[in-house]
Structure 1
Amino acid sequence: MTTAPARTRRPLPWLMLVVSVFAQAAGTVVVATPAFLIPLLHVQQHLPLEQAGLLATAPNLGLVATLIAWGGAADRWGERNVLAIGLALAAVAAFAATLTQGLVPLGALLVLAGAGTASVNAASGRVVVGWFPPERRGLAMGIRQSCQPLGVAAAALAVPALVAGGDIAPALIFGGVLVAVSAVLCLIVIIDPPRPGRADAPAHHTVNPYRRDGLLWRIHAVSVLLVAPQYALSTFGLVWLEVDQGWSPLAAGILVAVAQFLGALGRIAVGWLSDRVGSRLRPLRWVALAGIVALLLTAAAGGLHLAVAVAITYVLASCIAVADNGLAFTSVAEIAGPFWSGRALGAQNTGQFLGAALVGPGVGALIGVVGYPIAFALVAIAPAVATPLIPKDAAVARLRDTLEATRS
């Protein structure tokens, strides 16, 4: 029997969490950048909004295609290598995109960049679940999930300024540098969490979670529905404020960035709340209900062109729209257990990004037919449908008790 090195015996979970947050935020910048190219492509270069929206979803297509594979790789070979390899791939694709011409080659490289960033979604989630105990896991995962709105906020502030000269290359280089740096940090700092033996694991962790019950399927479905408001507001918020509401690019970019930054704090807050109430699913239901109201208020404020109300309701709706992600992500990891969490988290994000890939062209076409206010109001249907699908805590507890009784 060999003795583990001191670094492995005494890991630094909070340092690994910081690196995971930076890695996910860097990947989000790469994924979000095309959405903030829409004003340049649509307004200045006269690209149809549907095509611009499709280009904005290109990185999400790469995510959808590879998330489960990355999750399976993390389950089998560990998180550290998966993170470093995926982020390096994203950096190469982002840099290569600066050298290409034409929408099709650009879109293909953005798909590849998105595929590389997909490694972070499953692998860094496993790092958090593996190193943090349940009573601190909600807060830790909330911090980890805050990286997505932080990445969108960074892109909202940086991309419009970087493309002000009419060239998209500086924005792509910005994202490429971030993921390249994060790949190196993950290789240096991340330590794969310990994996329990199957003989010592609870029964509900060793059984295939997709065959034993429908809980994970329901959470996946809820998350797909709740991703619609998030991506509708982040993808079309900037162009809505500039084109429909008459805001300047600077003012619109600042508001979108503020909304995403506050959304990051909101994810941390609901993660902390879930630790306090001892449930991920109850706060998830509260978030879904609040999202319905916030979207309808945003639509009304936009329809009336009330600038102050638009600012307040857009920030509120954006904060609520991103708050569910960490709760659902943590629930999936806890229900799936250590032997299935990589694949389950990959499946979770696959559904989310598949939904997000449809939001770009779908909502873009809807806006073209009915306008921004009605389109945002119709998006509220998604959280309304999601709310009754959220499992109750009692169902999770009953499942766990039943499986443990069967094992004993």
Structure 2
Amino acid sequence: MKLPLWASALAGTLLVQTVCSFASISVPVLGPPLMMRAGLSPESIGLVSALSAAGICWFLASGGAMLSHFGPIRTLQLGMVCMALGIVVLSQPLGLLGLLGALAMGLGNGPNTPAGSQILIRHAPPAHRTLIFSIKQAGVPLGGALAGLVAAPVAAAYGLSVALGLLVAILLACCLLIEGFRGALDTEKGPRQPGWARALVQPAEMVRCVGALRAHPSLPVLTVIGASYSLMQACLTAFVATFVYTRHSASLAEAGQVVAVMQCASMLGRIALGWVADRMGHALRHLGLQAILSGAAVSLLVVAGDEGRWALYACAGLVGFTAIGWNGVHIAELARVAPLALVSSVTAASSLFGFVASVTGPLIFMALVSAGAGFEAAFHVMAAQLVAVGLACLFLKPR
């Protein structure tokens, strides 16, 4: 039985989102032994997260010509190959030089948001658009949960090299698997652009991308709250496993289980909150209230370990549902208010600012920890900025 086109679009984008998330989140889950191999301190995993986010920013700012030239599915395939190459470089004991692999991973992960949005906005039924976007974005925590449940135990049983090799193999297998979607979904190419490679290093292309945010008055506010959420999410993804491992004397496998609980709850949160947002019809207020709840949940997570493992797992689930469950609602609202011809440009530009926050967040967090403030204070600072932005959104007049 042939699937409806919207179902094929959702299946293909969800698969790629899940696999890319699995690969990218597995790296910080394996942070302690990976940094030890490189001769760096445990909190240096923040450099990996920051450089990976910088690679995503690079694509979001300059990759529009590449997306138009190749079409969304082919661009996603090229991205997964780039991620695999990045993991190979990162796996080598090259010290700081090996961190260039993290930049390549981010560059390969960058196409997921604009390519996925370009595919889904044209095929998702309008009455269920936010839910469908949220299901696609649920691939991020689904991949993260698999990272916590698979990557850490494989590394513990067979060694770090085997775990990293598994990531490379899965990325390449997915790259081959989605070839079957190209015929139906790569029909939305723009004009072929022979200069797409030059656009990756041209500042003018970055300026053009950001200019798309002038297309609707709600876009700047949505971009600000998306950046605030992204900063918080980047710190949670980068440091929760190391926090549990170093502060609560957990094994690497136990730290991975905490991450898995957080990511599973996020997967449920993205779908449930997408369903709620479709019925509330006021995405900005929804995101503001959720930001306040998210900040409170993160602060609870910081002190939960003192109450026992059950409290740690429960608070990790609450953090996942709230602080990492926002993305589907956000992306769907961006796609809704953007002119149809600018959907990929708008989502890329807004996500660009989000990933700039994803670069700076782990660096600020790492600086606070290195200065002696500790993981607890650093998490509280990041939660406070999210609450402040959420309060501002609640008091803004609806447009």
TM range (shorter): 0.7 to 0.9
> Residue in 2 aligned with 1:159?
151
Q: Is the 8 A contact 2:301 2:316 kept in 1?
A: yes
Q: In structure 1, how many angstroms separate the alpha carbons of the residues matched to 2:119 and 2:64?
A: 12
Given the superposition, is the C-alpha separation of residues 170 and 114 from structure 1 closer, same or farther in structure 2, using an over 3 Å criterion?
A: farther
Q: Distance in 2 between matches of 1:25 and 1:381?
A: 30
Say which of 320, 330, 333 aligns to 1:331.
Answer: 333
Of stretches 212-221 and 122-131 in structure 1, the one that deviates more from structure 2 is: 212-221
1:18 is aligned to 2:20: no
Note the C-alpha offset of 1:72: 4.6
Closer/same/farther in 2, CA of residues 72 and 387 from structure 1, 3 Å limit:
farther
Confirm or deny that 1:381 pairs with 2:384.
yes
Q: TM-score, normalising length from structure 1?
A: 0.83
Contact 1:266 1:323 in 2 (8 A): yes
2:87 maps to: 94
Query: Which of these two proteins has the greater Rg computed from alpha carbons?
Result: 1
Name the count of aligned residue pairs.
Answer: 376
The residue number in structure 2 matching 1:176 is: 168
Structure 2: how far apart are the matches of 1:77 and 1:291?
38
Match 2:104 to one of 96, 112, 121: 112
Matched-pair contact (CA < 8 Å) for 2:38–2:95 = no
Deviation of 1:269 after TM superposition, in Å, equals 0.6
1:121·1:345 contact (CA, 8 Å) conserved in 2? Answer: yes
Whether 1:346 aligns to 2:339 is no
**Does the CA contact (< 8 Å) of 1:280 and 1:330 recur in 2?**
no
Amino acid across the alignment from 1:264? M
Q: TM-score, with normalisation over the residues of structure 2?
A: 0.84
Distance 2:100 2:303 in 1: 38
- Structure 1 residues 278 and 48: alpha-carbon distance in aligned structure 2, compared to 1, 3 A threshold: same
* Cα distance in 1 for residues equivalent to 2:46 and 2:217: 33
Paired position in structure 1 for 2:243: 240
Asked if 1:276 corresponds to 2:282, the answer is no
SS at match of 1:246: coil
1:49 corresponds to 2:51: no
Distance 1:32 1:103, change over 3 A: farther
Instruction: Quote the Cα distance in structure 2 between the aligned partners of 1:11 and 1:308.
Output: 43
Q: Which runs of no fewer than 5 residues in structure 1 stay unpaired?
A: 1-6, 198-207, 397-408
3-state DSSP of counterpart to 2:263: helix
Matched position secondary structure for 1:271: helix
* Within-5 A mapping of 1:115-130: 115-130=107-122
Measured in 1, the distance between the counterparts of 2:366 and 2:86 equals 26
The aligned runs of 1:220-239 (5 Å cut-off) are: 220-239=223-242
Cα gap change, 1:224 to 1:287, in 2 (>3 Å) = same
| Partner residue in 1 for 2:194 | none
Identity of aligned residues (%): 22
Q: Which residue identity lines up with residue 112 of structure 2 in the other structure?
A: V
User: For residues 212 and 94 of structure 1, do their structure 2 counterparts lie closer, same or farther at Cα, with a shift above 3 Å needed?
Assistant: closer
Map Cα deviations across residues 175-213 of structure 1 (whole Å, 9 max, x no partner).
222222222233211433877x9xxxxxxxxxx753355
SS of 1:380's equivalent? helix
Q: Is the 8 A contact 1:288 1:384 kept in 2?
A: yes
- Structure 1 residues 163 and 105: CA distance shift in structure 2, 3 A: farther
Q: Give structure 2 stretches of 5+ with no counterpart.
A: 191-210
CA positional deviation for 1:256? 1.4
Separation in structure 1 between the aligned mates of residue 359 and residue 328 of structure 2, nearest angstrom = 20
Q: Which residue of 2 aligns with 1:318?
A: 320
Compute the RMSD of aligned alpha carbons: 2.9
